[in-house]
């Protein structure tokens, strides 16, 4: 009994914060406009700080860029897998490719992973996430705009948005400073330590705020459940089917299999679709299609949380910490 209680410890904050977000929505203690501003703060300040902090001190070598590249290719395969789902009449939906590929790595993955397993052994997971962010900005958004725009053109504004993205800038800047050894320089003096502490403090706000806004935004509408579940099923087929196939045939060919490697990829495969997909769909689809996609993302998020909690029981944080100490 005590063992079960101890195992619940790392995941209990996730459950509490998501429920808190739902209560805040139900009681309207916080208005939707305020939540939108909090998300903007997260996406433009807290998450870039998290990415910068992560890339500044991660151990970067040739294999690191290989992991990023393979993750990028894997997501392209997922996008193709989503298109193939449309050949199955029961699963057909024009948004399948976008439901099945990009993930909520920054808004869900980082928050859940770090709250359960901490920031140690985050390296592989982070590299997969970097591949995800690059894929989203260079393939996902470009293809979505191309397929849903009447002009079907890639304009300069799209390229500018990619370059100006705080998430992309923080990753690139962090990696450059990492390679130049700036992280060690900052650690060697009080001013540098103060700068790093400020960045870490802002980064630390990300996980709790993300989980509260996540709970706040979870919505389900019964009349769209059937259509939403089709999208959810398509994603599960692609992420687990093609995902594990790619992991065993490609990733394990280039990297020595390990518990941390397996955990990182499993933790990535269970993530829900991008939350911003709803915003993208709003401008090009009917209200019903928006609600279907929104409900699918909500259902996928609940499934993700449940699966990550189950994973934390199967691979407890203590086993990963023990592995790191050996």
> Higher model confidence: residue 85 or residue 10?
85
What is the Cα–Cα distance from 230 to 224, expressed in whole angstroms?
Answer: 10
Predicted pLDDT at 82: 94
Instruction: Tokens for 245, please give them.
Output: 């196939």
Predicted pLDDT at 1: 45
Q: What confidence tier does 230 reach under pLDDT thresholds 50, 70, 90? A: very high
Give the pLDDT mean for 170-180: 86
Predicted pLDDT at 154: 53
What is the Cα–Cα distance from 168 to 187, expressed in whole angstroms?
Answer: 24
Which residues make Cβ contacts (< 8 Å) with residue 209, sequence separation at least 6? 38, 41, 42, 46
pLDDT at 58 over 60: yes
Instruction: Tokens for 161, please give them.
Output: 């948005």
Residue 66 CB: number of other CB atoms within 10 A? 14
Query: Between the CA of residue 185 and those of 119, 167, 197, what are the distances in Å?
Result: 21, 23, 14
Predicted pLDDT at 2: 45
For 73-121, give the DSSP string: HHHHHHHHHHHHHTTSGGG--TTHHHHSS-B-IIIIIHHHHHHHH-STT
> Where are the strands (E) in the chain, listed by range?
none
Q: Which long-range contacts (CB under 8 A, 24 or more apart) does 113-119 make?
A: 113/267, 113/308, 114/207, 115/10, 115/11, 115/13, 115/14, 115/207, 115/211, 116/10, 116/11, 116/14, 116/308, 116/312, 116/317, 117/10, 117/263, 117/312, 117/317, 117/320, 118/317, 118/321
What is the Cα–Cα distance from 40 to 33, expressed in whole angstroms?
Answer: 11
What is Dmax (Cα atoms) for the chain?
A: 63
What is the Cα–Cα distance from 126 to 111, expressed in whole angstroms?
Answer: 12
3 state SS of 267: helix
pLDDT digits (tens, 9 = 90+) for 123-145: 788 889 888 988 988 889 888 88
Predicted pLDDT at 282: 76
Q: What confidence tier does 250 reach under pLDDT thresholds 50, 70, 90? A: very high
Predicted pLDDT at 72: 96
Q: Burial level of 181, CB count in 10 A (0-12/13-18/19+)?
A: exposed
pLDDT at 283 over 50: yes
Which of 5-14, 150-159, 297-306 tops mean pLDDT? 297-306
Q: Are 260 and 124 in contact (CB under 8 A)?
A: yes
Start-to-end C-alpha separation, the chain: 29
Q: Burial level of 77, CB count in 10 A (0-12/13-18/19+)?
A: middle
Q: How many residues are given for the chain?
A: 326
Least reliable range by pLDDT among 135-144, 231-240, 277-286? 277-286
Predicted pLDDT at 326: 55
> What is the helix (H) or strand (E) element at residue 264, kind and residue range?
helix 259-269
Q: Are 21 and 214 in contact (CB under 8 A)?
A: yes
Q: At what angle do helices 259-269 and 110-117 cross, to 10 degrees?
A: 140
- Whole-number average pLDDT of the chain: 83
pTM of the full predicted structure?
Answer: 0.81
What is the Cα–Cα distance from 47 to 52, expressed in whole angstroms?
Answer: 8
Q: What confidence tier does 194 reach under pLDDT thresholds 50, 70, 90? A: very high
Least reliable range by pLDDT among 57-66, 111-120, 146-155, 314-323? 146-155
Instruction: Tokens for 315, please give them.
Output: 């691979």
Instruction: Tokens for 59, please give them.
Output: 């151990």
> Higher model confidence: residue 79 or residue 154?
79
What is the Cα–Cα distance from 280 to 108, expressed in whole angstroms?
Answer: 19
pLDDT digits (tens, 9 = 90+) for 70-113: 999 999 999 999 999 999 988 999 899 999 998 988 777 877 78
DSSP letter, residue 108 = I
Q: Which domains does the chain have, with CATH numbers?
A: 2-317 (1.20.1530.20)
What is the Cα–Cα distance from 202 to 179, expressed in whole angstroms?
Answer: 23
Instruction: Tokens for 78, please give them.
Output: 């997922």
> Higher model confidence: residue 321 or residue 318?
318
Task: Give percent above pLDDT 70 in the chain.
Answer: 88
pLDDT digits (tens, 9 = 90+) for 257-272: 888 899 999 999 999 8
């Amino acid at each position: 009994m005590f063992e079960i209680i101890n195992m619940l410890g790392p995941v209990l904050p996730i459950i509490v914060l998501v429920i808190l977000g739902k209560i805040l929505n139900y009681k309207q203690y916080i208005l939707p406009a305020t939540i939108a501003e909090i998300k903007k703060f997260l996406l433009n300040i807290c998450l870039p700080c998290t990415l910068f902090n992560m890339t500044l001190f991660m151990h970067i070598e040739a294999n690191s860029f290989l992991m990023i590249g393979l993750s990028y290719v894997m997501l392209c395969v997922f996008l193709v897998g989503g298109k193939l789902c449309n050949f199955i009449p029961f699963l057909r939906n024009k948004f399948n490719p976008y439901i099945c590929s990009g993930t909520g790595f920054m808004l869900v993955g980082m928050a859940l992973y770090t709250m359960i397993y901490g920031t140690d052994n985050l390296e592989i997971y982070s590299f997969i996430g970097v591949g995800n962010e690059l894929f989203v900005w260079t393939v996902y958004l470009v293809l979505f705009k191309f397929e849903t725009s009447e002009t079907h053109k890639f304009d300069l504004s799209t390229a500018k948005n990619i370059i100006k993205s705080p998430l992309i800038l923080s990753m690139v800047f962090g990696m450059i400073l990492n390679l130049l050894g700036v992280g060690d320089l900052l650690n060697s003096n009080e001013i540098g330590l103060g700068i790093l502490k400020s960045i870490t403090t802002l980064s630390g706000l990300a996980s709790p705020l993300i989980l509260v806004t996540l709970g706040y935004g979870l919505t389900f509408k019964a009349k769209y459940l059937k259509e939403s579940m089709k999208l959810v099923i398509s994603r599960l087929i692609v992420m687990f089917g093609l995902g594990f196939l790619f992991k065993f045939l490609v990733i394990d060919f280039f990297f020595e299999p390990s518990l941390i490697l397996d955990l990182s990829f499993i933790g990535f495969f269970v993530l829900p679709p991008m939350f911003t997909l709803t915003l993208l769909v709003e401008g090009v689809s009917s209200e019903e299609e928006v609600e279907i996609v929104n409900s699918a993302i909500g259902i996928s998020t609940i499934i993700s949380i449940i699966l990550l909690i189950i994973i934390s029981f199967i691979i407890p944080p203590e086993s990963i910490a023990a592995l790191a100490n050996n």
